[in-house]
Amino acid sequence: MDPYPWETHHPEGKFRVVVTQTLPGQRWIEILTTADCRIEVCRTQHALDSQSIRAAIGDRCDGAIGQITESWDAAIFDAMKAAGVSAYSNYAVGYNNVDLGAASRAGIPVGNTPGVLTETTAEMAVALTFAAARRVGEAERFLRGGRFAGMRPDLLLGTRLHGKILGIIGAGRIGSAYARMMVQGHGMQVIYHSRSANPGLESFVADYNRFRVSQNLSPVSCHRADSLETLLESADCVSVHTILDESTRHLLDARRLGLMKADAILVNTSRGPVVDEAALVDHCRRHPGFRAGLDVFEHEPDMAAGLAELDNVVIVPHIGSATRWAREGMATLAACNVAGILCGYPLWRQTDILPFLEGNPPQAVPSIVNARELEMLP
């Protein structure tokens, strides 16, 4: 007997689509219904394991939408191929939880949801940056604990970031959006480490610098670091926005954490395993002036021993994209990925995904990460 409750939308639909968790909003349901899909939604709040997903796929299935917290492994894609699945979409921009090689060998397109959560996640990185710098978590606990006896000149002194050096690890969409926010709002100097140069970001900061100079404000700059080590040694605040793969797992280990300034700030809204969490706990214990803001964790939902007890760490439960607009938009894109493949639509060849979020969506598939491997590109 299935241990999880399920609900079905449009039960008479031609295509059977399995969705492993309830998604926010109604637009995604409307899109799949319009594509004549029978939508079966698991009502659990927990990530399904491989066996449960394979059981849900069953003997016949046409499409599926899964979560970043689930491991979509080779066994699942073998089961999907046997069941006749034509499309899968991750409800996330990242896809490190998906065995892309297995999906491609099974001939199954894998969708993701880029573009819709860029500014939303960057805003959370900004929030964590200042929560850590200004000791907001400590201050709230202090106040709620009844310890506030009035303003004191030395009470919970934090760090001023205006004009300081900002290090960006991974200058993609989200990292660049965060950098722009911090440069424009707080006059920070940007140094970034990325697999390739980002001339767009550098040009933006150069243009903004000319405006600042015209207003008699201090200049700002942006350049690519010679190495990750150079960035870590130089930056007052480091924000992580890189992808997770084998080359970035524990990218920030004990050695590299040790290169950072003793009073630096580390923010991570990318993927938990990019940071060696046990090493971070040890580093924060030994350097009480060092601060961190974390939205993601190495072994979610668990945290490394001692992390939750550290006053110099701000922690939130993976809510980087958690605005209604972004999360409903992600559901819409995931549904459009699956519906588009089932309907035989072509790939969307533009970077702007906003047309999918309002009115009648384009007759196209928003984003397939293994399109090249499946020879779907023109």
30, 202, 300, 373: the active-site residue: 300
14, 36 in Cβ contact below 8 A? Answer: yes
Write out the two tokens for 51: 């066996």
135, 156 in Cβ contact below 8 A? Answer: yes
Catalytic residue flag (residue 285) = no
Q: What is the 3-class SS of 237-250, one letter each residue? A: EEEECCCCCCCCCC
52, 65 in Cβ contact below 8 A? Answer: no
Cβ atoms < 10 Å from Cβ of 207 = 9
Strands (E) in 310-357, as ranges, are 313-315
Could you tell me whether strands 37-42 and 87-90 are parallel, antiparallel, or unpaired per DSSP bridges?
unpaired
Task: Please count the residues of the chain.
Answer: 378
271, 283, 291, 327: the active-site residue: 271
Catalytic residue flag (residue 271) = yes
Q: Name the β-bridge partners of 223.
A: 191
9, 105, 212, 318: the active-site residue: 318
Catalytic residue flag (residue 286) = no
Could you tell me whether strands 6-9 and 37-42 are parallel, antiparallel, or unpaired per DSSP bridges?
antiparallel
Q: Which of 131, 157, 156 is nearest to 237 (CA)?
A: 131
Catalytic residue positions?
Answer: 271, 300, 318
